[in-house]
Structure 1
Amino acid sequence: MSGTFLYEGKTKIVELSEDGQSVILTFKDDITAGDGAKHDVLTSKGQFCSETTARLMHYLNTKGVYTMFINYIPPNKIRARKLKMIPLEVIVRFKKAGSFVRRYGGTEGEDLPEALVEFTYKSDAMHDPLMCVEHLEVLGILDRENAVKIINQAKQAANFLKEFFSLHGFELWDIKFEYGFDEAGNICLGDEISPDTMRLRKAGEIFDKDIYRRDLGNPMEKYEVVLNLCRSILL
């Protein structure tokens, strides 16, 4: 299945579907870190991340969260709503980790008193700088009303996923979302939900892209574990 090519990113190809009413996302086997400075191709990664995304977005849809997901096309494609993507990464943090610790100190894995939402500008060249709501307004990226909507929607989606993973004995430390506007101007959760976009831990073990970032081996074994638990969500 293929359509009209629209865009190719580091880990996905986006095509306009044959009917022109949706897009097809093809998940590649590429994995990157350090704003693309580190790059490898890992067998099955596209399949694991696409199916995990499909099942978790379907789960969120059943909870009333509006996502891009329409249907899963095995092994590594998703049919999704057409969105005008907002050039932001929206990070929901439950614990201190990664760049948060580098910026503000603290201990990796330390609880935050409440869920924290951060915006970063999506630019490898600028290393995804942190932005406040005033930045979004002044630079014309997003108005305050929609920024607040995204904060609330991101917290809601992250809490649903945190609850889901906790039922399986996993801790969701943080998660990165991306949002866009659908053709009616509604904010919609897009892009991907997978071990590439979250920190997920269980009994001290890492089940996310930190395995790759830290050169701890091939992360695909752990990605497959996450996919298998997500298969409890029926499509």
Structure 2
Amino acid sequence: MNIVSEGKTKKVEDLGTEVMLHFKDDITAGDGAKHDVLQNKGAICSEITARLMKYLNEKGIYTMYLEYLPPNKIRARKLKMIPLEVIVRFKKAGSFVRRYGGNEGEDLPSPLVEFTYKSDTLHDPLMCVEHLEVLGITTKEIAQSIIQQAKEAGNYLKEFFESHSIELWDMKFEFGLDLDGKVCLGDEISPDTMRLRKSGEIFDKDIYRRDLGNPLEKYEVVLKLCQSIDL
């Protein structure tokens, strides 16, 4: 295998004009300060990602997804990733509450998109569009395209989970540019990257962040819902 990069939860294999993402069983929190290995996590998160990206593709959102290869691999478009976490928020939660106050689960008046710079050492600082231009991360035009696509993808995912009686509070996306320079949704969509709630019950990585038990029990519930999307 020609592994060209490895992050906390995935390895990327170069296939020439495409890549293969290998999802690992690792789970982390606190910029990697907390780290464990949970058997079968990679398989669960890769299948959820594959099904949700297939769903978004069908809704007209351009994603990296090409093919799911069980148990834990996705064949994907090769992207030059933009070093940003793009957070779409429907409710106040997590770092938003720590920064601005309010109550967990309180509605925002409209969907909010935040950019944070991907850097564990800098603790993912917030950035505005002008930061992206001044620091040479991306252009204003690409940033605006990302904002639009992130909101559209977020709304489609919110509708999907609402149809299964689960609230989507927020999610983290990552985008890159394909070989033609087109903005494309990449990385992962799973309970690692979303907040999913139902009547106070948690179905996401906050279980791990808060030491509330084995998160994979709830991840498997999310997977069963996502299996309503054909691959």
Is this a same-fold pair by TM over 0.5?
A: yes
Secondary structure of 1:158's aligned partner: helix
* Number of residue pairs aligned between Structure 1 and Structure 2: 231
- Point out where structure 2 has 5 or more consecutive residues left out of the alignment: none
Q: CA deviation at 1:163?
A: 0.1
Q: CA deviation at 1:21?
A: 1.9
Residue 121 (str. 1) matches residue 117 (str. 2) = yes
- The sequence identity of aligned pairs, in percent, is 76
2:142 match: 146
Runs of 4+ in 1 over 2 A off after TM superposition: none
Aligned equivalents of 2:224, 2:40: Cα separation in 1: 14
Secondary structure of 2:173's aligned partner: strand
What amino acid is the match of 1:214? R
Aligned equivalents of 2:81, 2:17: Cα separation in 1: 16
Q: CA deviation at 1:35?
A: 0.2
**TM-score, normalised on structure 2?**
0.99
Q: Which of 173, 186, 197 is 2:193 aligned to? A: 197
- Point out where structure 1 has 5 or more consecutive residues left out of the alignment: none
What amino acid is the match of 1:14? V
What amino acid is the match of 1:130? L
Residue 88 (str. 1) matches residue 84 (str. 2) = yes
2:156 match: 160
Aligned equivalents of 2:3, 2:22: Cα separation in 1: 11
* CA RMSD in angstroms, aligned pairs only: 0.5
Aligned equivalents of 1:160, 1:14: Cα separation in 2: 27
Aligned equivalents of 2:56, 2:127: Cα separation in 1: 26
1:177 match: 173
What amino acid is the match of 1:75? P
Q: Which of 62, 65, 68 is 2:64 aligned to? A: 68
Aligned equivalents of 1:54, 1:195: Cα separation in 2: 13
Secondary structure of 1:165's aligned partner: helix
Aligned equivalents of 1:130, 1:16: Cα separation in 2: 31
Secondary structure of 1:147's aligned partner: helix
Alignment of 1:123-138 (within 5 A): 123-138=119-134
Aligned equivalents of 1:23, 1:145: Cα separation in 2: 26
Q: Output one character per residue of 1:112-162: Cα deviation in whole Å (capped at 9) or x when no partner.
A: 000000000000010000000010010010111111100000000000000
